[in-house]
Amino acid sequence: MTTINPIETRPLKPLFLSYLFPAMIGMLLMSVNILVDGIFVSHGVGPTALAGVNIAVPIFSILLSISLWIGMGGATLYSISLGEGNKQRAHQLFTLAFTTMLVVVLTIIGFLALNLKDISYIFGASDDTYPYVQEYLHVILLFGVFYTIENLLSIFIRNDGNPKLAMLGLITTSVLNIILNYIFIFVLDYGVTGCALATAIATIIGTAVLCLHFFRPQSELKFVSSFFNKTDLRKIFAIGLPSFIVEASVAVIIILYNVTFLHYLGANGVTAYAMVNYIHTVLLTIFLGIGMALQPLVSYHHGARLLERLTALLKIGLATAFILGLTTALIAMLFPSQLMALFGDSSFEIRHMATQGFVHFAIGYVFLGINMVLAEFFQSIEKIRLATTIMLLRSIILFIPTLILLPKVFGSQAIWWTFPVAEGITALLIYGYIKKNPRIIASSGDA
């Protein structure tokens, strides 16, 4: 006798909320780790060190992007398999995703470690900031594999019906990171190295917490010896591509912003952007959390062919994203100086530049959530081309020409408008496409 999974019958709003809050809190805390690093470094080491750590963030993001790429691709197929009732394939997909990620991440870490100086200067380091970049990344690269394991496990654990443990693991990492940052920077005076050590140690312990899921009786996360399948591997990389673009584009965007601010506003502009970017990194992951909550539910319902509930889930996700985006934009525009004050004793010129810029920048959050939810939804139902197009539009295709043209036409302050303009045009284009193709949401297959 087949047992019906409660996901198929539980009312959708409480079901979505049971995934939403753990996912948002977990993603928020993951990003808070980066914010905490910035706050402690700015107060305990200085603004040049803060700029150095900000330059290192894109390299850190590369590792996260790989774990998201393989993790989201594998977890989407994993939940679809569970929805279809094929547990054996689910076990094989988990093992394949985990093993593939380890091989790819260790290869990238080796390459980065061997070419650290050249890559750092490409990413915007100068003779002043490179020592801090080097100091931070030596530790981060050494322990980077644990950061990616933690992220991949949290994704799969959420897809295996245990979003609270996924959140608990990330809470553990975040709380320990704050405590250890204080000890290593202010008590032991380890500087930027202490900041990196705090992140590494906290991540290892957080990963250990996540491993408790394997002892859960109802866990379907199992390693199997026979798992390699070329078709599944291609599907993992194809389905996970939009998630990779999200995180990898963060690195590209930071680099392009750094170069543009340096050209128009000098070193002070780069530091002002670093302050805004730390806040933005936190806010971005909150919106990612909505997609993370939606993905396991959408993929399962897609596998089980429950199309009415699937459409209702999308409407709930879009409403949540719009409300959160509007609220975030209003808060950011009303209290920019208080947010920028988190970063300590920067000069009046830098803080004023960051405060004024963030008021314009924050308008983009109204559109960001909608774009992220739609991309995540289409990714979760295997419409990879459409999901990838959305991510490329907002992060590369529209962003780069907007970043080039706005300051040339309207002056240096228009750099801050790049984010809202790119996100707004993307949202309008998606709306127009769905209006012309209303069946795209309920249909199956790639698009």
Is 444 exposed, middle or buried (CB count within 10 Å of its CB: 0-12, 13-18, 19+)? Answer: exposed
pLDDT band at 446 (very low <50, low <70, confident <90, very high): low
pLDDT digits (tens, 9 = 90+) for 381-433: 888 889 889 999 998 899 999 999 999 999 988 999 999 999 999 999 998 99
Whether the predicted pLDDT of 2 surpasses 60: no
> Would you kindly state where each structural domain of the chain is located, as residue ranges?
12-228, 260-436
Q: Tell me how far apart the alpha carbons of residues 410 and 81 are, in angstroms, rounded to a whole number.
A: 52
pTM for the predicted model, two decimal places:
0.77
Whether the predicted pLDDT of 337 surpasses 50: yes
Q: Tell me how far apart the alpha carbons of residues 72 and 391 are, in angstroms, rounded to a whole number.
A: 15
Q: Tell me how far apart the alpha carbons of residues 72 and 93 are, in angstroms, rounded to a whole number.
A: 11
Residue type, 127: D
Residue type, 123: F
Whether the predicted pLDDT of 366 surpasses 60: yes
Q: Tell me how far apart the alpha carbons of residues 357 and 149 are, in angstroms, rounded to a whole number.
A: 36
Copy the structure tokens of residue 224: 């199997």
The number of beta carbons lying within 10 Å of the beta carbon of residue 432 is: 10
Q: What sign results for the dihedral spanned by CA atoms 122, 123, 126, 131?
A: negative
pLDDT digits (tens, 9 = 90+) for 91-128: 999 999 999 999 999 998 888 888 878 877 776 677 77
Helix and strand counts by DSSP (H, E) for the chain: 15, 0
Q: Tell me how far apart the alpha carbons of residues 155 and 314 are, in angstroms, rounded to a whole number.
A: 20
What 8-state DSSP symbol labels residue 190?
-
Residue type, 31: S
